[in-house]
Structure 1
């Protein structure tokens, strides 16, 4: 066997090809504890049978979950379990479930029928059924035994492959069966056990199989990956962690359970942690499982959680947004999404930050509007009116070139190619020939100079709606200076067909005009 360590850089270069995943903050968290029907809060193992049921191993029995409630199966004549304390669950073909645990208890359930199996001489930590239906059993403090398959429900005599050490987990790939033990990682055959020669870790407390057949290893000094020839390291942030679980999901991301730091996920080159502060019931992780719907189940010392994609995804600074205070959104004609925040402008496409995001750190954005011919108008807090196109921001108007103030809170380019700019000191209208007109309470009879929204009623040419800090006004025509107060302190405005306007005010009712 080879003893080699490849630099983490090689691992990260390969992992960059993994599909981008939403941040963990975008997942919805469901929690179940003994208050919700679990028999015990320590979840040693999780499995899902072909009929869709989820199963949870605890020290008070096995709980089956149907999506609404739990059913308990413990030590009794029906289950043939010799002890309620269960440590491992393995779903097998033909809707079969293996249940192993204390006192060497080993039972199987197929459909609604439970069957006993010859017990092991100690606590069963894990079982594995190989490609030839042979049975392998990892036993606490004793080692690994092999039972050759004879026929359905019948196995040959036990054969010890590893003795006098704790065996924790078993895994298989196209090269054979592997065992994680207190003495390290072993590759097994029905007649032999060969230790993987490495001094990078001593105890292999958890092993599993990656999607490409690699053996993933959790140890007291971090996580590792064995590709059949080389041992690869995972991120250095994990090197001082006791890893209790290491698994890989269907997207290629790696998940790591720790003894007291919660759960970590490595997606590409980004390592994220979640702990009790993020919804975990306990920071000690005992088990992990991905169900057929690709939800992630995590068993802890304080209950089990499910992480699932929520109906709404959160985009924040963690995922590349330039600021967390998002004030305004705009979809452009090329299917990009502009996000104006208190810290600048972010361009997104397909749910991810687009490379055309311009350098705008510190550019507090208040308003956005589509620009004829492509691009967008950008209203800011301190820089006036800008235009954005093809990833470039350009100055258009400010307090030195015709605006009464640099606070631009509303923008409208109407059907006659007039540009309307709403500020905190009135409206500036820019005609197609470039002439500017300042419309205020004093000069044109506006109800208020603090303009917060502008909209053109396309069903009635030359009609406009303007939202002010203290009301909603209808302008009877673009050329007229007469305005009509039609509401009081509206929050949202909808333009409806046939020249009707619906609005919601601060008062708890809707009004149609």
Structure 2
């Protein structure tokens, strides 16, 4: 196989969000597309996922790398120049080079269509690489399980070397507020990178006592908060450097192994063995304002999610431990009981106006529905013949270019509805009062 070929970038994948209203209140079904070895993926255990500058999506598996161009996978193994076939971490550095980490402690760089291997020094091999981060001075920092923090300066031509005095078991690494932050088995550490200095001084955050837990994941959002996922103490937030971390309330108990932020301001969480969660980064005090959960019941191919990455088109990719690769395309079906009247639950037509209000034509009248959102409660209002409608069986709703809402009913003909005042105006006579659909010109 020719592992050096280069072709067009990954194509954008987008599916419009849909809203389906049905009598059941708790169900939700997300739209996922799953990829397995049958689709060309190298192996079903995907440890890490990354998108490069050209748009290719790379997956690190237990049998090499898989590169996806939106149509097909190209696979790479040690025969093609990577250091080891098991790939546990991936990173794109500031110049745009790809870096891959292996459980041996070796590192592979992909630049200019070529793989280059940086081997760990004797005595430091066998240290599983967990994550990468690079600073403004050209140093690549590497978090390992067993050998602590390693430093690599590519221009020196040598493999990664250990950083003195670092914690031994480093699970996560992120650059935030001009400092490098380490999530370790015994808490949170930070240091300020200095040009030419690979022996930084570490500061440990040890208060409150409940916070000093096994930290598995870190993510820094645009508002200046550092999100911290732990193995046994839930999700925490450090609001600012020097501030006091607090535990986020309103989430189920259990280990958190991965955090990823999307451009829309949501945090995606790998709830180890329990699928994935999605929460807004704007909290209600110290509590989440909304929580969406995704498991195999919702179309996710496997509940053990190893890595989560958001691509440039906003699609969310999941690497799983046995189910292969999955992508959440942004489409969401929600079920909600907007009424306890069976006739109102029989929805024939829907449209969403410029303010986000959904108008529904039902067997029980016209429904004005506003779905629950961050800081906003769900509301619904039903308009019937008692409010001036010609007939309760509204079969079609249409908003014209001037903002007028038109209603077609099964037994009341054609009418308009003033959204501000609720006033109904009927039109006729028409050849029939039984109208089932309409279209705007």
The two structures share one fold, judged by TM-score above 0.5? yes
Supply the distance in 2 between the matched residues of 1:55 and 1:324 (Cα, whole angstroms).
Answer: 45
- Name stretches of at least 5 consecutive residues in structure 2 with no aligned partner: 1-16, 20-26, 193-198, 283-288
- Between 1:365-374 and 1:38-47, the stretch displaced more is 365-374
Q: Which residue of 1 aligns with 2:89?
A: 88
Relative to structure 1, the CA distance from residue 205 to residue 294 in structure 2 (aligned partners, 3 Å threshold; closer, same or farther) is: same
Confirm or deny that 1:215 pairs with 2:226: yes
- Name stretches of at least 5 consecutive residues in structure 1 with no aligned partner: 1-20, 397-410, 423-451, 455-491, 497-513
Displacement of 1:187 in angstroms is 0.9
Confirm or deny that 1:317 pairs with 2:333: no
Q: Is the 8 A contact 1:216 1:247 kept in 2?
A: no
SS in 1 for 2:297: helix
Q: Which residue of 2 aligns with 1:142?
A: 147
RMSD: 4.4
Displacement of 1:111 in angstroms is 2.4
Displacement of 1:156 in angstroms is 8.3
Instruction: Please give the TM-score of this superposition, normalised by the length of structure 2.
Output: 0.73
Q: Which residue of 2 aligns with 1:286?
A: 306
Displacement of 1:208 in angstroms is 2.2
Q: Is the 8 A contact 1:412 1:420 kept in 2?
A: no
Q: Is the 8 A contact 1:333 1:374 kept in 2?
A: no
Instruction: Please give the TM-score of this superposition, normalised by the length of structure 1.
Output: 0.63
Displacement of 1:197 in angstroms is 1.6
Q: Which residue of 1 aligns with 2:269?
A: 256
SS in 1 for 2:222: coil
Confirm or deny that 1:180 pairs with 2:183: yes
Q: Is the 8 A contact 1:315 1:321 kept in 2?
A: no
Displacement of 1:255 in angstroms is 1.1
Supply the distance in 2 between the matched residues of 1:224 and 1:315 (Cα, whole angstroms).
Answer: 28
Confirm or deny that 1:242 pairs with 2:252: no
Relative to structure 1, the CA distance from residue 252 to residue 320 in structure 2 (aligned partners, 3 Å threshold; closer, same or farther) is: farther
Relative to structure 1, the CA distance from residue 419 to residue 289 in structure 2 (aligned partners, 3 Å threshold; closer, same or farther) is: same
Relative to structure 1, the CA distance from residue 420 to residue 152 in structure 2 (aligned partners, 3 Å threshold; closer, same or farther) is: farther
Q: Which residue of 2 aligns with 1:430?
A: none
Supply the distance in 2 between the matched residues of 1:213 and 1:327 (Cα, whole angstroms).
Answer: 45
Q: Which residue of 1 aligns with 2:196?
A: none
Supply the distance in 2 between the matched residues of 1:235 and 1:493 (Cα, whole angstroms).
Answer: 48
Q: Which residue of 1 aligns with 2:246?
A: 232
Q: Is the 8 A contact 1:128 1:170 kept in 2?
A: yes
Relative to structure 1, the CA distance from residue 375 to residue 259 in structure 2 (aligned partners, 3 Å threshold; closer, same or farther) is: closer
Confirm or deny that 1:60 pairs with 2:63: yes
Query: In the TM superposition, what are the counterparts of 1:164-179 in structure 2 within 5 Å?
Result: 165-179=168-182
Query: In the TM superposition, what are the counterparts of 1:363-512 in structure 2 within 5 Å?
Result: 365-367=392-394, 388-390=417-419, 413-414=427-428, 418=429, 422=433, 452-453=434-435
SS in 2 for 1:317: coil
Confirm or deny that 1:72 pairs with 2:75: yes
Structure of larger gyration radius: 1
Supply the distance in 1 between the matched residues of 2:140 and 2:164 (Cα, whole angstroms).
Answer: 12
- Between 1:241-250 and 1:204-213, the stretch displaced more is 204-213
Supply the distance in 2 between the matched residues of 1:161 and 1:132 (Cα, whole angstroms).
Answer: 21
Alignment partner of 2:132 out of 110, 127, 131: 127
- Name the structure where strand makes up a greater proportion of residues: 1
Alignment partner of 1:200 out of 206, 210, 220: 210
Supply the distance in 2 between the matched residues of 1:58 and 1:293 (Cα, whole angstroms).
Answer: 23
Q: Is the 8 A contact 2:369 2:381 kept in 1?
A: no
Supply the distance in 2 between the matched residues of 1:270 and 1:276 (Cα, whole angstroms).
Answer: 21
Q: Which residue of 2 aligns with 1:298?
A: 318
Displacement of 1:233 in angstroms is 2.8
Q: Is the 8 A contact 2:371 2:379 kept in 1?
A: no
- Per-residue displacement from partner, 1:278-309 (whole Å, max 9, x unpaired)? 11111111101011111110111211111124
Confirm or deny that 1:341 pairs with 2:362: yes
SS in 2 for 1:255: strand
Query: In the TM superposition, what are the counterparts of 1:98-109 in structure 2 within 5 Å?
Result: 98-109=99-110
Supply the distance in 2 between the matched residues of 1:333 and 1:295 (Cα, whole angstroms).
Answer: 25
Displacement of 1:327 in angstroms is 1.5
Q: Is the 8 A contact 2:414 2:435 kept in 1?
A: no
- Per-residue displacement from partner, 1:380-417 (whole Å, max 9, x unpaired)? 99x999985445668x9xxxxxxxxxxxxxx9613xxx
Displacement of 1:36 in angstroms is 1.5
Displacement of 1:66 in angstroms is 1.3
- Per-residue displacement from partner, 1:297-352 (whole Å, max 9, x unpaired)? 01112111111245xx7575389999664213478999976312356633369999
Q: Is the 8 A contact 1:285 1:299 kept in 2?
A: yes
Relative to structure 1, the CA distance from residue 419 to residue 167 in structure 2 (aligned partners, 3 Å threshold; closer, same or farther) is: same
Displacement of 1:92 in angstroms is 1.9
Supply the distance in 1 between the matched residues of 2:249 and 2:358 (Cα, whole angstroms).
Answer: 34
Q: Which residue of 1 aligns with 2:294?
A: 274
Greater length-normalized contact order (CA 8 Å, ≥ 6 residues apart): 2
Displacement of 1:98 in angstroms is 0.5
Confirm or deny that 1:358 pairs with 2:381: yes
